[in-house]
Amino acid sequence: MQEFRLKKRVAGSLLATSILALSMAVLPNGAAAQDSDLQGEIRFSWWGGQVRNDKTDRIIQLFEGQHPNVSIVRENADWSPYWERLTIQSTGNNQPCAITMQTRWLATYARPDILMPLDELVENGTLDVSGIPEPVLNSARGADGNLYMIPHGVFYFALMYNEQMAQTAADAGVAPLDYPYTWDEFAEYLTAILPHLPEGAASVHNMGREQDAFVTWVQSHGEEVFDGSNVGFTKDVAVQWFEYWEALRTAGVTEPPEVMISDNSALIEESNIANNRGFMTNRPPNQLGSVQTTVDTVSPGTTIGITPYPVGPDGTVGMDIGANGIAIGASCDEARVPVAAEWINFWTQNEEAAGIYESDNGVVSIPALATAQAEDPDTQPTQVEHIELYQELIDTANPVFWPAGGYQALTDTLNRAYDAVAFGQLTPEQGADQLIADLQQQLSQAAR
């Protein structure tokens, strides 16, 4: 009987706890309205790890400190879940007011029912785009020509290399690689440097499956990657690409295919360059600081340098650039739009905010702020190098317009096609046919 009473009490308290917790869960968490010119609450979403989250949080605090009646609800996630969540939110028209966006993914979301077209806000001065270079701003336009995001950071792809290994080879008589160099000169250099590398190290990561390298190759050969929602490059250029990397692979200049697959992690800590297993790899230069930090622990005294991709046979630069920025969700109600716009202005134009962020997600889009960061003695040397190379290359860059689903489609299809070529299942011709057919199918599907 006593046991039954006890059970009854336990059951009662469990029910009470559930009711209490449920009622707590439904309480609204909005901030109280305060008197100010700018007031209200907006949701802001971004992706990133602990360091970027901390910087973003500090910028939000700075903004909220300057606008005491404004509250920014933080919504952050890791890279892949970020896009998955945004897609689901968009289906329910529940996307945040301020959304961190990237040009490579923009076409998927660049529709007036998902993101707000911003041209009108720019024209009436609500959004301040002063100082943002025109090509960078234009890269934030959708297929319909509308401006859908305000870029705050510009990223590009380049090659990272081990400076000590390069020096050892130079001391042994291998002529250094001076930019601009063609793809053939690049291959010759990588072949020449191989005997001077530590045992087991490859000259270069096999980039046959790397879409950023492939994009550069295609553009440097005078072709387009996409033609609207269609494949823009020819079979010949794809065949040559596969043959180029197969020649280097069979000569032992790159790692074998099985290592190529295992080395493919996006995490810096697992990359060949950070672990002294390779001389050169392709990485976005904004990772230079992180790679250097990892290298410092694995191999103290080793320094990592960055160099641009090779140019085409006629000197054409094929480098793509992309931008990260902030968009406004189409579901953001009229009262909150001024807050979202002011937040975007603050993020892109405020010197202190830019100083906190330190071009963490691409070089700050306003050249004056980028120069100030490069000249700041407190800026990390790797970050200075990243900014300076960007300033050197930006005028020659050739931004790709990525159609809806294009980024993922090219990554997946190129991986599959080159893996099959590298493992001997397909010839380069067959690989190119497969790449073009699969890519076209995926692009057509995404365009529906």
User: By C-beta, is 48 or 257 nearer to another protein?
Assistant: 48
Q: Which residues face 71 on adjacent strands?
A: 41
Residue whose CB is less far from another protein, 76 or 126? 76
Smallest separation (angstroms) from another protein to the CB of 189: 26
CB of 291 to another protein, least distance (A): 10
Give the nearest distance from C-beta 386 to another protein in angstroms: 11
**Complex with another protein: residue 17 or 425, whichever CB lies closer:** 17
CA 359 to chain CA centroid, nearest Å = 12
Question: Distance between CA 143 and CA 242 in Å, rounded?
Answer: 31
Give the residue with the Cβ less far from another protein, 12 or 228: 12
Q: For another protein, which is the closer residue by CB, 100 or 434?
A: 100
3-state secondary structure of 278: strand
In this complex, which beta carbon is closest to another protein, that of residue 14 or of residue 175?
Answer: 14
Structure tokens, 372:
């100030």
Minimum gap (Å) between residue 265 Cβ and another protein: 8
Q: Which residues contact 226 (CB under 8 A, 6 or more apart)?
A: 232, 400, 401, 402, 403, 406, 443
For the chain, give me the number of helices (H) and strands (E)? 18, 12
Q: How far is the CB of 216 from another protein (least distance, A)?
A: 17
Q: State which residue, 48 or 312, has the beta carbon closest to another protein.
A: 48
Per CB under 8 A, residues contacting another protein are 14-15, 17-18, 21-22, 24-26, 29, 43, 45, 47-54, 57-58, 61, 73-81, 84-85, 88-89, 91-92, 94, 96, 266-269, 274-275, 283-284, 286-287, 289-290, 293-294, 296-298, 360-361
Q: How far is the CB of 299 from another protein (least distance, A)?
A: 8
Instruction: Report the alpha-carbon distance of residue 283 to residue 66 in Å, rounded.
Output: 37
| Residue 179: both structure tokens together | 């930019």
CA distances from 392 to 213, 335, 358, 435 (A): 19, 42, 19, 33
45: part of which helix (H) or strand (E)?
Answer: strand 40-47
Residue 218 to residue 220: CA distance in whole angstroms: 6
To another protein, the closest distance from the beta carbon of 294 in angstroms equals 6
Residue 277 CA neighbour count, 13 Å, CB half: 16
SS3 (DSSP) at 161 = strand
- Map residue 180 onto helix, strand or coil: coil
